[in-house]
Amino acid sequence: MSGADELDEAIALANGAAGGARRGDGRAAPADSEAPRPRSGGGSTRSKGGHEPGPGSHGSGTPANSGSGGSASATASGDGDELAAPDWLTPRSARAGGRGSARPAEDTPSHARDAPWPDARTYASRAAGPLPSLALPLEQALHHTLGAPIDALTDLPSFDTSAMDGWAVAGPGPWTLEEDPTGILAGAVSEPRQLPDGRAIPIATGARIPPGASAVLRSEYGERDGRRLRTTRRPQPGTDIRPRGQECRSGDRLLPTGTRVTPAVLGLAAAAGYDRLTVTRRPRAEVLVLGDELLHRGVPHEGRIRDALGPAVAPWLAALGADVIVTRRLGDDAEALHEAVATTTADLLVTTGGTARGPVDHLRPTLTRVGARLLVEGVRVRPGHPMLLARLPERRESGPDGGPLLVGLPGNPLAAISGLMTLAAPLIRALGDQPAEREVFARITDDVQGHPRDTRLVPVAFAPAASRARPLHYNGPAMLRGVATASALAVVRPGGAASGTDVQVLPLPWFTW
Ligand SMILES: Nc1nc2c(c(=O)[nH]1)N[C@H]1C(S)=C(S)[C@@H](COP(=O)(O)OP(=O)(O)OC[C@H]3O[C@@H](n4cnc5c(N)ncnc54)[C@H](O)[C@@H]3O)O[C@H]1N2
Ligand code: MOO
């Protein structure tokens, strides 16, 4: 564990981002027990099986143990040199042509190493253009983005329609009822007959208005008396009639390209005559879970742990807008990983674990072996700094420009989530041509310690009405307890965030406003 990682662990353990985990989980992984005690937090005690995090410091807005910050940042990952934007990126303006323009320059091997967190998100969002469009039946089009506008295929309504159950009436009345006790029903195939002046006929909501009718009298406003229609009302011409084309005329633009297909959009499309919608294809994703230490059922035992990412990553990707084909558990088998990466048919591969340079961390050697190109190698974010983004060699026409993408998530579970929100989210947004993300800010309710050099992502309870974000405890890299009750991650810039200041928040993909 590097100095920066120790610092990161220490900060997380010190106070759970604010106010601190008062109690360790008692089952802390070895990595946690390597963490130094926070210097300003104090009060920590060693407990059986792990450390008990101390209350941590509040109010400083600076790292508790900044004394170690210098060496920490120097050793965090690789050489830590200053970065230029990677040259496989083309500015947005140059991409106005759409697909194909995200292709990296062919003649350069450079990539973003140890990228600042905001830049890493930008790079991920520009690593690929939208996937091709396809026509999907309505029932499969939900949660896609329109690849073509929805123009009305009909007038809506497509005929003059009764808005109420009652009687179609002709003229100001009084009215004599037609000899047709059923009257006109919705969906009746035969054309309704001309209604002469002074006549009325029963009519159902949604039925065609007969020619000659001037209004509809609601059933609660009238009464049948033999062949007479009694009422005290004199409806104005047009009352309770929905005229043809009231909502739109055939050919009207109802929704533009780029609109997200919601259930309401499906309803409108059906009403306007569509059986299929042209949408941008959602990325097909495959998840590869790495690690021999992982158990897939039962209670952890004998140094092995439950796979916490296998069950979480696929639905997380789905919530971000991907279609997950499969989650495969590959252990630490280098050959199986090579086979999976070399033969994938997915647009996006997401791996968990194995991003580091340990003895069984096969991801990097595998990427080299298949001829992948690293686009982002490490991000200045805690947790999650070893995350990476790579492009695999191109193998099919209908895939992303330049080849499938691979996001390597670090094995520590909260670090993996950091990778999902940092790299996978903007990439999936770009591939699926989703509308631009909106930047959200909220007032943080407690001091949050910062990392000296890197951005921190801290689970928070986000209350949009009050525009507040309350940092949650148990936010160490190996912990999911905090994020499991979170609605967002707060973006804490190097140096920390003081209580009462505004910070950017990333709502979790299932957050509802
Ligand atoms: N010498 C260094 N060692 C490490 C560094 C470093 O910079 N230098 N970084 C540390 C950090 S930070 C992280 S994060 C990890 C990233 O390592 P890997 O991506 O190779 O992940 P693993 O070693 O496979 O696992 C790390 C940790 O997470 C547990 N794990 C893995 N997969 C799962 C899963 N599916 N569910 C639950 N837990 C999982 C695994 O057992 C380890 O405890 O590297 C550090 N080391
Ligand atoms: O803390 Mo690591 O930063 O878990 O990616």
Ligand closest to the CA atom of residue 388: 1
Instruction: Tell me what the pLDDT averaged over the chain comes to.
Output: 83
Q: Which atom of ligand 2 is nearest to the CA of 411?
A: 4
Which residue has the CA at smallest separation from atom 5 of ligand 2?
Answer: 384
Query: From the CA of 494, how far away is ligand 1's center (Å)?
Result: 23
At 183 the pLDDT is 95
Q: Which atom of ligand 1 is nearest to the CA of 31?
A: 43
Strands (E), 251-339: 253-255, 276-280, 284-290, 294-295, 305-306, 323-331
CA torsion angle 102 104 110 113 (round to 10):
20
For 49, 110, 290, 391, the CA distances from 334, given in Å and listed in that order, are 32, 26, 10, 19
The pair of three-digit structure tokens given for residue 224, joined into one six-digit string: 């049948």
Residues near 366 by Cβ (< 8 Å), separated by ≥ 6? Answer: 334, 337, 338, 341
Name the residue of 357, 379, 385, 474 whose CB sits within 8 Å of the most ligand 2 atoms, as the mutation to test its pocket: 385
In terms of Cα–Cα distance, which of 83, 90, 91, 114 is closest to 104? 90
Give the whole-number percent of the chain exceeding pLDDT 90: 74
Judged against a pLDDT cut of 80, whether residue 60 lies above it is answered with no
Ligand closest to the CA atom of residue 415: 2
CA 364 to chain centre: 27
Pocket (CB within 6 angstroms of ligand 2):
5, 8, 382-386, 410, 412, 415, 477
Average pLDDT of span 157-171 = 98
Average pLDDT of span 412-422 = 98
At 24 the pLDDT is 32
| Strand 294-295 with 305-306, pairing | parallel
Average pLDDT of span 264-290 = 98
What are the tens digits of pLDDT across the range 328-372?
A: 999 999 999 999 999 999 999 999 999 988 888 999 999 999 999
Instruction: Give the C-alpha separation, 307 to 319, whole Å.
Output: 20
CA 495 to chain centre: 28
Judged against a pLDDT cut of 80, whether residue 26 lies above it is answered with no
At 110 the pLDDT is 54
Phi, psi of 400 (to 5 degrees): -65, 150
Asked whether 415 lines ligand 1 (CB < 6 A), one says: yes
Q: In this structure, how many other beta carbons lie within 10 angstroms of the beta carbon of residue 188?
A: 13
At 356 the pLDDT is 85
Q: Which atom of ligand 1 is nearest to the CA of 308?
A: 36
Residues near 344 by Cβ (< 8 Å), separated by ≥ 6? Answer: 286, 392, 404
Residues near 484 by Cβ (< 8 Å), separated by ≥ 6? Answer: none
At 85 the pLDDT is 55
Please report which residue ranges of 136-177 form alpha helices under DSSP H: 138-141
Ligand closest to the CA atom of residue 476: 2
Greatest pairwise CA separation for the chain in angstroms: 98
At 358 the pLDDT is 83
For 11, 106, 158, 242, the CA distances from 270, given in Å and listed in that order, are 54, 45, 13, 19
Q: CA triplet 158, 163, 166: central angle to 5 degrees?
A: 130
What are the structural domains, with CATH classification, of the chain?
3-76+438-507 (no CATH), 101-129+284-431 (3.40.980.10), 133-155+249-280 (3.90.105.10), 161-242 (2.170.190.11)
